[in-house]
Structure 1
């Protein structure tokens, strides 16, 4: 799988919709993608085909022709792309407040017991070297509390 960052591409909201279906069902035919997207969105077949062509052009999908249909497979890993998108957003935030944001996301998100156990392990490990307070990084070369 290829990282999204290496593609120098961003995924639009519409492209996320298509990619989620492809990641779930891959390999998946264009007919099935159209059917699934039309069940969720009021999009025409031609709009969806254009969307798929854009994803192929961005090198995020591979495609092969099988009979009268195209079959799509993701060239990027779902979890990796989600992590990169979340990290890109977190990189724009104040370091001091990232913990609060992560806590709220943890509170608001459905999470499995196995993922919670993994999180507990990571927290235990990070706790060993965590500072008492994370400094603000909003202003260059200044210590500031925001």
Structure 2
């Protein structure tokens, strides 16, 4: 993944990941309760995501374009996680976990859960 998705663009992607494919009007309908964005703003976000390659658009019906994700939610999360690790922890998950543990950001239960997960990976 070459480009980043803004927080606002991510909200549009979440809608498409949830419903699969939609017209811009359907996306606007899905976002109307969770945001105060105007339809034009949402259309701009959709256009940006298309130009970035995160959304594909079906233009076979000239009156109603259908948008669908070009990247799965799992692919996005994997890429965003790697990018986060690279930026903040030089790609080291060990350094990240250590940082959370040392800063008491993980509860005893979370540490135990991590320990169990690591045991299961053996």
Does TM, normalized by the shorter one, top 0.5?
Answer: yes
How far residue 38 of structure 1 moved from its aligned partner, in angstroms, is: 1.7
- SS of the aligned residue for 1:28 comes to coil
**What RMSD over aligned residues (CA atoms) do the two structures have, in Å?**
2.8
Aligned position for 1:71: 66
Select the structure that is richer in helix.
2
After TM superposition, the structure 1 = structure 2 runs for residues 49-128 of structure 1, keeping only pairs within 5 Å, are 49-65=43-59, 66=61, 68-91=63-86, 92-93=88-89, 95=92, 96-100=94-98, 101=100, 104=106, 107=110, 120=117, 123-124=118-119, 126=121
Q: Give the 3 Å change call, closer, same or farther, for CA 84–104 of structure 1 in structure 2.
A: farther
Q: Where does structure 2 lack aligned partners over 5 or more consecutive residues?
A: none
How far residue 67 of structure 1 moved from its aligned partner, in angstroms, is: 6.0
Q: Does 1:25 align with 2:9?
A: no
Say which one has the larger Rg: 1
Aligned position for 1:39: 33
Aligned pairs, number: 109
- SS of the aligned residue for 1:86 comes to helix
